[in-house]
Structure 1
Amino acid sequence: MKAVGFYKGSQLQDVSVENPKATGRNLIVSVQAVSVNPVDTKQFEVGTESEEHPRVLGYDASGIVEEVGEEVTLFAPGDHVYYAGDVTKAGTNSEYHLVDERIVGKKPESLSFGEAAAMPLTTITAYEGLFDRLDISKTIEDNKGKQILIVGGAGGVGSIAIQLAKTAGLHVVATASRAKTSEWVKHLGADVVINHQQPLDEQLKKHDVDYVFCCTHLTTHWEAICEVVAPEGRIVSIVSEEKVDLNLLKTKSVTFCYEFMFTRAMYETETMIKQHHLLNEVSELIDQGEIQHTMTEIHSPLNAKTVAKAHEKLQSQSMIGKLVIEMKN
């Protein structure tokens, strides 16, 4: 089958790889669309150890179930699905893709395949960050008067985190630094927008923030985050840059943790099935009009040239929302 991959020391190129076979709890999905995430460019920089077999990237997809393994119970051939995959296995930039059913969700009926492909990785990251790592209640009454700061609100994860936080009844402060990004986060439901190119603590000095979700430049904002977070508050970050001083959190007894959405698939944790459930839950929220998709650009076809240009766009750090690539013109 056709795929986009690279060999040790090579650039992205159109390659031919073996068709996957469905066994156990795995599905074979006929890929209809993918989206590009920062993890794609980072994994390309890491490269591959093999010169014999190409490495295929891609950690977001929507498509149609083609075949199922003998232990599959959640899906059947013909089902429309969306998911983010497993960073330790072959990616989605291919005609067909092998994926464990426990990390796959039912595609929102109201979205096209392209729109749906924009959602999984950022949705899983935002959902786990909010409700698993920060341990935020999904009951609106429980969150009355509580506030969350989302640093990097206009990016892929921030764009979903804002919307999910609003469904839980939180007062959302999101950061953005340009007119377009500020309008974007307001459009998604942010109650207050502040500029992350200015000191965050000076803009929030009258507020104690119950929760902080850091999507970008953790080191740059660390001291300000420690200043504004409330006593017994919680901080989650999806970025790890340089070392940060956790001692700044001691007197407030603040909880700090990381969110890495591939953890459950990488280690096949007991909670791995939660990704199936959360994707289905968000699919329903989308179909009910409570969450909107974050696709802002769409390209085709899925080949090396298109993927390379998408990588360049992400590395320019000018993206708002998500960039999607459809399989065919």
Structure 2
Amino acid sequence: MTDTMNAVAYSHALPIDDPTSLEDVTLPVPAVGPHDLLVKVVAVSVNPADVKVRSDMDPDGVPTVLGFDAAGTVAAVGSDVTLYAVGDEVYYAGAMGRSGSNAELQAVDERIVGTKPKSATFAEAAALPLTTLTAWEGLFDKLKLTAESMGTLLVVGGAGGVGSMIIQLLKARTPGIRIVASAGREASQEWVRSLGADEVVRHGEHLTEDVKRVAPEGIDYIYSTNTVGQMDAYIEILNPFGEIVATDNPGLVDLGLFAGKSLSWHSELMFTRSVFTTADMVVQHELLTTVGEMMDAGTIRSTMTSAFSPLNAEQLRLAHASVETGRTLGKVVVTNEPLAS
């Protein structure tokens, strides 16, 4: 193996239509730690987090590789690796603070890596990890939903990557939960229905009236990917003892407003386990592998809706531009696999 690799990096925070916003570069192959896999990356997906980092965090001229989601093949393993071997096909969401997936090779801790679903292409698998971990942890770790759970759950932003996985996991694992999803455009509404949403409501100013129409009995749980400006509506539509999981930062929140109904608030960041190297970090390996098995069984499908190829700066700029519109359904992927004609 050579000492250098091809990668796509950004050196300054620039608009995506600037041809130097993302550039093809040659960088050293990352060092492999004791628990690391060195993965030959085949496909990545572009998340809103990638766009936000690229546009808001200037690396002051230092070529920096973005990307969280990836799928690929193990090329080398660290001295303490026990879960995988060279040649295994894997998928994962990476970690904050480490070089990203937009590269020929990436080092990633085996404990946050899942076994790629056999029935999926690398591109289809790359669409899933970050959003799957976010959805799973919010639903089953924070809200502690089970197969016996009952009630109504509102997914705010149902057509996005996280919302698309929330709906599918609820449908597959919690048959007693009624799913209400918010979606704007007609295409978004059709998408969330195809994933299993029982009812569809509009975003923003129409949210409260639409929810009261389709769920007059009230909402028991809210999973929100877009919380800013929504708190009054959430408090109004939630039943007593209701719970909110949020993936974003809503700003200053007066938790005293929650007291009358005894409402609960949960923050969800799927990077917490890897950032703090928690004792249960291997749980992410286990749940990604479980979801891969669910996909092979046909109970979960990939949320990939568009793909670019090959994995280079030009195609990643196109993918970032697509995500920046805020109108994408599911996930946008960039892959070295040939695209179907």
Match of 1:158 in 2: 163
Q: Are 1:5 and 2:14 an aligned pair?
A: no
- Aligned positions of 1:93-132 closer than 5 A: 93-132=102-141
Report the CA distance between 1:328 and its aligned residue.
Answer: 5.4
> Which of 69, 72, 77 pairs up with 2:81?
72
Structure 1: stretches of 5+ with no match in the other structure: none
How many pairs are equivalent?
323
Contact 2:153-2:219 at 8 Å conserved across structures: yes
Match of 1:311 in 2: 320
Contact 1:48-1:55 at 8 Å conserved across structures: no
Other structure's SS at 1:35 match: strand
Segments of 4+ in structure 1 off by > 6 A?
Answer: none
Contact 1:199-1:224 at 8 Å conserved across structures: no
Match of 1:18 in 2: 28
Q: With structure 1 as the length reference, what TM-score do the two structures score?
A: 0.95
Contact 1:219-1:243 at 8 Å conserved across structures: no
Other structure's SS at 2:28 match: coil
Q: Percent identity?
A: 44
CA distance in 2: counterparts of 1:46 and 1:273, whole angstroms: 31
CA distance in 2: counterparts of 1:16 and 1:46, whole angstroms: 24
CA distance in 2: counterparts of 1:85 and 1:23, whole angstroms: 14
Other structure's SS at 1:124 match: helix
Structure 2: stretches of 5+ with no match in the other structure: 14-19
Report the CA distance between 1:50 and its aligned residue.
Answer: 4.7
1:134-179 CA distance string (max 9 Å, x none)? 2212x2xx223x1110000000000000011112121100001111
What RMSD, in angstroms, separates the aligned Cα atoms of the two structures? Answer: 1.4
> Which of 176, 185, 204 pairs up with 1:178?
185
Contact 2:123-2:337 at 8 Å conserved across structures: no
Q: Are 1:265 and 2:265 an aligned pair?
A: no
Q: AA paired with 2:83?
A: L
Match of 1:147 in 2: 152
1:248-297 CA distance string (max 9 Å, x none)? 21111111011111111111112211110110111111111111110000
CA distance in 2: counterparts of 1:222 and 1:20, whole angstroms: 43
Change in Cα spacing, 1:314 to 1:147, as seen in structure 2 (3 Å) is: same
Q: With structure 2 as the length reference, what TM-score do the two structures score?
A: 0.91
Match of 2:16 in 1: none
Q: AA paired with 1:273?
A: V
CA distance in 2: counterparts of 1:143 and 1:132, whole angstroms: 14
CA distance in 2: counterparts of 1:108 and 1:130, whole angstroms: 22
